Structure 1
Amino acid sequence: MGRAMLFLVSGLVIISGIIQMANTNRTEVLPQRTAIHFNEQQAKNVASSLIDNAIQNLLVDMEWSDEISMSTESGATGTLYMSQPDPDDEFRVLLTSFGTYGGYRSEIEVLMQRDSFSRYSYFTDSETFSPPNDNVKIWWWNNDQVTGPVHTNGTFSMSGSPTFNGFVSSPNDWIGYTGDEDSSDPDERHGSDSPNFNGGTNFNLTKDKELPGTEQINLLKSEATLTFDEHSDVEFYEDLLGDGYVKVKDEDCNDILLCYDHYKLSNYENPDGGVVISIDGRANVKGDVKGRVTLHSSTKINIMGDIRYDTNPLVDSTSTDLLGLVSEGDVMIDEDAHDDEGSYHLTIHASIMALGTSFEVENWGGGSPRGTLNLLGGIIQKNRGPVGTFSGNNVATGYTKNYIYDTRLQQTIPPSFPRESIFSLVYWRDKPVIKIDS
C-alpha cells in the first residue's frame, strides 16, 4: 500500500514537472509565435496594398505603367514591379509585389489581361432596338436559353422564365413584362416573371463596359492579311485536298466563273496563325470555314446562307476552326438566307460583333416563321436587334433562337478580335512568406 502510494506521489510529481515545463515553454514560445505572425501579416499587408493600388490605376488608365515603392514609419517597406509575361502580348501585364517587415518578406503575383469581347455569348450596349422612329424594347422570353457570359450596359427585359446558364451582369436591375419598370422595389419591378439565372448574376456594376472604338478597329485593320476596297461577296470553302480557302468577288460582278479570286487561307496567316480579312465596304458572307479567320467590314456584313465550321466543335472538341465577324455597321441575316441550301433553318458558327447598331434579321417582323436560327458562338452588338416576334409561346415571324455558346472562346479568340478597354483579373497568387536576413 505504502509503495503504491509512493509510486502515485512520484507520478504526480513527474506529471506536475512536465506541466510546469510545458507552461514555461508555452510562455516563451507563444509570444515568439505571435511576433512572427504579426511580422508576416505586416509584410503581406504591404504587398497586398501595392497590388490593390496598381489594379486601381489600371482600371482608371489601361496605359498606366510604373514601379511603386513605399515605406512606413513602423519600418515596413515594399516595391511593386510591372512587366509583360510575353513581350509580344500587349494585352497582358504581370504585377509582382514585395512587402518586408521585421525580417520577413511577402511576395504576391497577379496577372491582368484585357479580355476579348469574343468571350461573351451575348453582349449589348443597349437592350432597345432603334428603328427610324422609336426605341423598341426587346424581350427575353420563355423559350430562350443562353449559355456563356451575358452582359448589357442597358436593362434586361424578361417575359416569363428564360434560362441563363452563364454569368449575367449589368449596371441595372432587370424588369419583368408584368412588372413596373419605374419602381425601385425589386418585387414590383420584376412582377410575376421569373428568369432562371443558373450561372450567377451581378446587377450592381458601377461602370459600363465600353465597346471598341476607332483605335481598336484601326488596329484590327492594320493586321489584315487580305484587304479589299469594294463591296464584296465572300464565300469560305474546303478544296478537294482538304485545305481551307476563301473566294472573293466584287459584289457587282455577275460572271461567277471569272469574277472570283481564290485565296488559300494558310498562305495568308499572320504570326499568330490566323487570317484577318478587311473589306472597305459591304461584305456578303457564307460558306464552310476551315482555319482561324476574322472578317471585318467597314459598313455592313450580310449573312447570305449557312456559315459552318469544317470541323464542328460540338462533335469534335479538338476543332481549331474559328470565325469572327466584325462590322462597323450592322450584321444582317438576309431574308432568304435560310433558303440558300434549301433548308428551313439557318446555321451560323461565329463570334459576331455589330458596332454600328445591331445583329438582326431582314424583315424580322413580316412573313411566316422561318425555322430555327442555330448559332454557335456569340453576339456582341451596340443595340439589341430582333430576329423575330412571338405571340404567347409561339414564334409569329422570323426565327426561333437556338443559341449555343462555343466554350472554346473562354480560352482562344478569333484573330485580332477587339478586346475590352479595361483589365480583368486572371489570377492572384500569394507566395509563402519567407524569413530574410535582417
Structure 2
Amino acid sequence: MNGRIDILPAQQQGGFVMVAIMAVITVLLATSIAFMRWSTDESFQSVRSAAAMQAYYLGQMGIVEKGFQWLRTRPASDLPIGETPLPGRNVPGYGRYETVKIFYLPSMSEGDFWSIERRYRISCIGVVKIPVQATDRRRETEQEIKRKAVLYVQVRNFADYMYLSNEELTSFGDRIKFWNGDTLNGRVHSNSMIAIMQSPVFYDQVTTTAEDFWRGSAYNPIFHGPLPIFRAPRVEIPELAQRLREGASEQGNFLDYQGKTIRACFNGGSVTLFRFDTGAPFDSTDSWSIPVGQGTCIFVNGPLEIKGTVTGKVTIGSHGTCRILDNIRYSDSNVRTGVTPTSSSNILGIVSETDVKIANTPENGRENSGITGGQSGNNQTNQARTSVVITAAIVALGESFTFENQNDPDSGYVCDCQPDDRGTIYVFGSITQMRRGYVHRSTRSSTGYLKKYVYDKRLLRTRPPCFFDVTDDQGHALFNVVQWGQGKEYAPDNEQWNVVRYN
C-alpha cells in the first residue's frame, strides 16, 4: 500500500459491467417467467372457481326443477321410502346437472313410530367443463368441474302453524279481525281473506289464498317476519282425523260407546277415563286409567270432556264436541300462562271432528268470573275462578275453537250477570280450525274472554303423535325447507369427482 489509487483499464471495467448487466437480466427473466406462470395459475384458478360456483348453481337447479318438483307433485299418501334416482339434463350454454337423488330420512321422536316425521334429502351434481392445457402444452383439453348441492325438506304438519283456518267468517257471517293487542309469533295461514284492523303484530310468515287482506279502520299491520304471501296454495283441512283414528285403534285406545260421553282427567303420566250417559249429570262410577307414554293416541267416537296436567306425548280426539272443563296443561308449564320450558319433552294434541269449546264452568269463569255488582270479571284475582290455560296443538276439523254459552237470546242460555267476562284464554301451542270461532262477544255488554296466544316452537321439531300432515287441495304434500347444503362430505366423491357441499 503506497497511497496510490490504481485505475483499471477501460476494457476491463467494461467486462465487469457486462457481466453485471447479464446477471440482472437473468434475474429479471427468471422473475418474469415465474410471475407469468403465477399469473397463468391465478387465471386458471379464477376460471376454476367461477366454474365451481356455476356447477353448484346447476346442482341447485336440478334439485328445484327435477327433485323437489317430482316430490311436490306426489300424492301425500304415496311419498317414496328409500332412495329415488331421477335423470339429469343438459343446460345449453352452462353445463349440465346429473345424479338427482331423493332419499327418505325418517326422523322419530325418541324412536316412537307414532311421532314420526317425514324428511327427505334431495341432492344433485352440477357439471361445468373448462379448457385446460395438456401437459405437453401443445394442445388444449377439457376438465369437468363438479359440485354437489343438497336440500333437506320436511313434510309440513298442522302443528307447524300457530294459526290455520279454512274460513275466516263465523257461522253468523261475521268477520273476526286481527287487531291491536294481537301478537302472533308463529306461522299464519287461511284459505280465505284475513281481516286486519289497526296494528296487530306478526313475527312469522303470513299466507292467504286471497288477493289481499280485508282492511279495517286504522289498518297498519306490523310484519317483523317475511312479507305476507297472497294467492298461496290452499291447505286442505280434512273432515276426519283418519291418522288419529287408525293410531288409536292400533293402540287399543279407540273408544266407541254409543250414547255415552267420555271425560278424560289427565294426572301426569296417566289419564283416568270416565264413561257416563250423554246429557245426564256426570257420574264417576264407571272409570278406568291408561298410561300416557311417548306416543299415545286416544280417540273417542262421541263427545269428550278434558282437563288436567299432562306428562308425556299424547293426542286425544273425538268425533263429537270436545269440551275443555278446566286447565289442560303440561306438568312442567307455568301455572298461570302455560309457557313451557324449551327443554320439556311433553307434547299434547287436542282434536275434534266438530268443535273444541271452552266449557262454561266455574273454573273457566262462569257468570262473570264470580264477580257481581256490574264489575268486570276480568278483575277476578282468584285463578281457580277465572281464565283457562291450554298447552296443546288444537284442531277443530268440523267447526271452530270457541266457547259455549255466548248469551245469545235464541240459544237458551243468557246469564243474569252483566257483563259476563270470564277472564283470559292462555294458549301455548297452536290453533287449527275449519271456521274461525268467537272467543268474545258483545252480548250482555261483554261476554267471553280476552286472549293470550303464544306459539310453542317446540312443535316445529316434535309433533303430537298421530297428527296431521299438510296437503293441498289436490292431495299433494306441502313441505318445509329445513336447510340448503351442509352435510357430511364423502371423501371418495371428493377425490374422484371433485365434489363438495356448500352451505
- Root-mean-square deviation (CA, aligned residues, Å) is 3.5
With over 3 angstroms needed to count, the CA separation of the structure-2 counterparts of 1:198 and 1:31, relative to structure 1, is: closer
- Match among 349, 359, 364 for residue 401 of structure 2: 359
Which residue of the partner structure matches residue 136 of structure 2?
none
Q: Give a deviation string over 1:189-246, Cα, whole Å, max 9, x none.
A: xxx32122223332335312222465xx3222111131211343323332xxx64333
Q: Is the 8 A contact 1:47 1:97 kept in 2?
A: yes
With over 3 angstroms needed to count, the CA separation of the structure-2 counterparts of 1:9 and 1:129, relative to structure 1, is: farther
CA deviation after TM superposition for structure 1 residue 22, in Å: 5.6
CA deviation after TM superposition for structure 1 residue 144, in Å: 2.2
Which residue of the partner structure matches residue 234 of structure 1?
263
Q: Is the 8 A contact 1:42 1:76 kept in 2?
A: no
Q: How does 1:27-426 map to 2 (within 5 A)?
A: 28-37=40-49, 39-52=51-64, 53-61=66-74, 62=76, 63=78, 65=80, 66-72=84-90, 76=96, 78-86=98-106, 89=116, 91-101=118-128, 102-131=143-172, 135-172=173-210, 173-178=212-217, 192-212=218-238, 214=240, 217-224=241-248, 225=251, 226-230=253-257, 231-238=260-267, 243-252=269-278, 256-265=283-292, 269=293, 273-312=294-333, 314=339, 316-336=341-361, 338-339=364-365, 342-364=384-406, 368-389=420-441, 396-421=446-471, 422-426=478-482
Give the match's secondary structure for 1:320: coil
Q: Is the 8 A contact 2:97 2:124 kept in 1?
A: no
Q: Give a deviation string over 1:79-114, Cα, whole Å, max 9, x none.
A: 112221238757222222223443332222222211
Q: Is the 8 A contact 1:138 1:157 kept in 2?
A: yes
Give the match's secondary structure for 2:204: coil
Give the match's secondary structure for 1:137: coil
Distance 1:430 1:276 in 2: 35
- TM-score norm. by structure 2 comes to 0.71
Q: Is the 8 A contact 1:57 1:64 kept in 2?
A: no
Distance 1:257 1:157 in 2: 45
With over 3 angstroms needed to count, the CA separation of the structure-2 counterparts of 1:283 and 1:15, relative to structure 1, is: farther
Give the match's secondary structure for 1:84: strand
Distance 1:295 1:315 in 2: 20
Higher mean C-alpha deviation, range 416-425 or range 351-360: 416-425
Which residue of the partner structure matches residue 369 of structure 2?
none
Distance 1:408 1:210 in 2: 23
Distance 2:199 2:125 in 1: 49
Q: Give a deviation string over 1:360-407, Cα, whole Å, max 9, x none.
A: 11233656221111111111011111111369xxx8221111112222
Q: Give a deviation string over 1:276-325, Cα, whole Å, max 9, x none.
A: 10111111222222221101112321222221221106364433222111
Which residue of the partner structure matches residue 428 of structure 1?
484
The structure that has the greater radius of gyration is 2
Distance 1:213 1:13 in 2: 89
Q: Give a deviation string over 1:154-199, Cα, whole Å, max 9, x none.
A: 2221222222333322233222222xxxxxxxxxxxxx32122223
Structure 2: gaps of 5 or more residues = 1-12, 108-112, 129-142, 367-382, 409-418, 472-477, 499-503
Distance 1:408 1:80 in 2: 32
Give the match's secondary structure for 1:128: coil
Partner amino acid, structure 1, of 2:433: Q
Distance 1:200 1:382 in 2: 25
Distance 2:397 2:87 in 1: 41
Q: Is the 8 A contact 1:124 1:381 kept in 2?
A: yes
Partner amino acid, structure 2, of 1:256: D
CA deviation after TM superposition for structure 1 residue 117, in Å: 0.8
Which residue of the partner structure matches residue 140 of structure 2?
none
Structure 1: gaps of 5 or more residues = 179-191
Distance 2:497 2:182 in 1: 62
Distance 2:199 2:429 in 1: 23
Q: Is the 8 A contact 2:161 2:430 kept in 1?
A: yes
Q: Give a deviation string over 1:331-382, Cα, whole Å, max 9, x none.
A: 1222336148851222222110011121111233656221111111111011
- TM-score norm. by structure 1 comes to 0.81
Partner amino acid, structure 1, of 2:289: H
With over 3 angstroms needed to count, the CA separation of the structure-2 counterparts of 1:12 and 1:158, relative to structure 1, is: farther
Distance 1:430 1:78 in 2: 19
